Structure 1
Amino acid sequence: MPSLPSVLGARRTRSDQSGDTAPDGFGGFDDTLDDAELHTARAALAQGRRQAARSLLLHTGDDWDRRGHRLTVLAREPYAVAWAGDWLHAEPGSADAATLYALAQVQRALRGREEDPDRAREACAEAAALAPADPTPWLGLLRLARTLGPEHEVLGAFAELRRRHPEHHHAHHLLLARLAERPSGGRAAEDHEVYDLAERAAAEAPADSPLAVLPVVALAERYRVLVAAGLAPADPAACGHWSGPRARRILRAGFDWWLEWEHDEHPRRHIDLNHLAFALSCAGRPAEAAALFQRIGRHATPAPWSCLHSDPLAAFRAARARALGHLRD
Structure 2
Amino acid sequence: MFKKIKAAKAYLEHGDEFAQGLVPDDAVVLDTPSDAARPAIDAALDGAYEPAAELLRSSRGARAWEDRDVDVASLGRLSLRAPQWLDSWREAAPDDPDLAVVDARRLVEQAWEQRSHDDASQVSAEQFAAFGETLERATERIQQAVDGSPGDPVPWAIALRHARGTEGDRGTFERYLDALGSTDPHHYGARYEAMQYVCAKWFGSHDEMFSFAQASVDAAPREARVQTLLLDAVLEHVASEESALTGNRDRVEEAIARARGYLDANPDAGHHLTAQTRNVLARILFHLERHREAYEQLQAIGPHATSYPWRYWGDAREEFLTHRSHIVTLAAGAS
TM-score for the superposition, normalised by structure 2: 0.75
Letter paired with 1:124: I
Alignment partners' CA distance in 1, 2:38 and 2:84: 19
Identify which of 101, 126, 130 aligns with 2:148.
Answer: 130
Q: How does 1:313-328 map to 2 (within 5 A)?
A: 313-328=317-332
Indicate the residue corresponding to 2:273 in structure 1.
268
Unaligned runs of 5+ in 1: 1-26, 227-231
Residues 178 and 118 of structure 1: CA distance in aligned 2, closer, same or farther (over 3 Å): same
Q: Is the aligned partner of 1:159 residue 2:164?
A: no
Indicate the residue corresponding to 1:70 in structure 2.
71
Residues 136 and 258 of structure 1: CA distance in aligned 2, closer, same or farther (over 3 Å): closer
Q: What is the CA distance between 1:149 and its match in structure 2?
A: 2.8
Identify which of 92, 99, 109 aligns with 1:107.
Answer: 109
Alignment partners' CA distance in 2, 1:182 and 1:110: 16
Indicate the residue corresponding to 1:192 in structure 2.
207
Residues 260 and 165 of structure 1: CA distance in aligned 2, closer, same or farther (over 3 Å): same
Q: Is the aligned partner of 1:288 residue 2:293?
A: yes
Indicate the residue corresponding to 2:125 in structure 1.
none
Alignment partners' CA distance in 1, 2:32 and 2:146: 24
Indicate the residue corresponding to 2:228 in structure 1.
213
Alignment partners' CA distance in 2, 1:151 and 1:316: 36
Q: What is the CA distance between 1:28 and its match in structure 2?
A: 4.7
Q: What is the CA distance between 1:216 and its match in structure 2?
A: 1.1
Instruction: Answer whether contact 2:31 2:307 (CA < 8 A) is retained.
Output: no
Alignment partners' CA distance in 1, 2:176 and 2:82: 23
Indicate the residue corresponding to 2:166 in structure 1.
148
Residues 93 and 203 of structure 1: CA distance in aligned 2, closer, same or farther (over 3 Å): same
Q: What is the CA distance between 1:42 and its match in structure 2?
A: 1.6
Q: Is the aligned partner of 1:32 residue 2:36?
A: no
Instruction: Answer whether contact 2:259 2:277 (CA < 8 A) is retained.
Output: no
Identity within the alignment, %: 24
Q: CA offsets, 1:17-37, max 9 Å, x none?
A: xxxxxxxxxx9543234x123
Alignment partners' CA distance in 1, 2:145 and 2:308: 28
Residues 92 and 182 of structure 1: CA distance in aligned 2, closer, same or farther (over 3 Å): closer
Q: What is the CA distance between 1:211 and its match in structure 2?
A: 2.0
Alignment partners' CA distance in 2, 1:108 and 1:248: 34
Letter paired with 1:220: L
Q: CA offsets, 1:251-289, max 9 Å, x none?
A: 552465257424232642211111111111111111211
Alignment partners' CA distance in 1, 2:150 and 2:194: 22
Alignment partners' CA distance in 2, 1:109 and 1:255: 30
Alignment partners' CA distance in 1, 2:324 and 2:134: 41
Number of equivalent positions: 287
Q: CA offsets, 1:31-54, max 9 Å, x none?
A: 234x12312312321221112212
Q: What is the CA distance between 1:151 and its match in structure 2?
A: 4.7
Q: Which moved more, 1:165-174 or 1:246-255?
A: 246-255
Q: Is the aligned partner of 1:257 residue 2:257?
A: no
Higher normalized contact order (CA 8 Å, seq sep 6+, divided by chain length): 2
Q: What is the CA distance between 1:123 and its match in structure 2?
A: 0.9
Higher gyration radius (CA)? 2
- Higher share of residues assigned helix: 2
Alignment partners' CA distance in 1, 2:154 and 2:113: 19
Alignment partners' CA distance in 2, 1:54 and 1:312: 30
Residues 138 and 259 of structure 1: CA distance in aligned 2, closer, same or farther (over 3 Å): closer
Letter paired with 2:321: R
SS at match of 1:36: coil
Alignment partners' CA distance in 1, 2:244 and 2:323: 18
Q: Is the aligned partner of 1:173 residue 2:192?
A: yes
TM-score for the superposition, normalised by structure 1: 0.76
Alignment partners' CA distance in 2, 1:255 and 1:324: 22
SS at match of 2:185: coil
Please give the root-mean-square deviation of Cα atoms over the aligned residues, in Å: 2.9
Q: CA offsets, 1:191-241, max 9 Å, x none?
A: 7221222122111111222222221110101222x2xxxxx3xxx5xx353
Indicate the residue corresponding to 1:58 in structure 2.
57
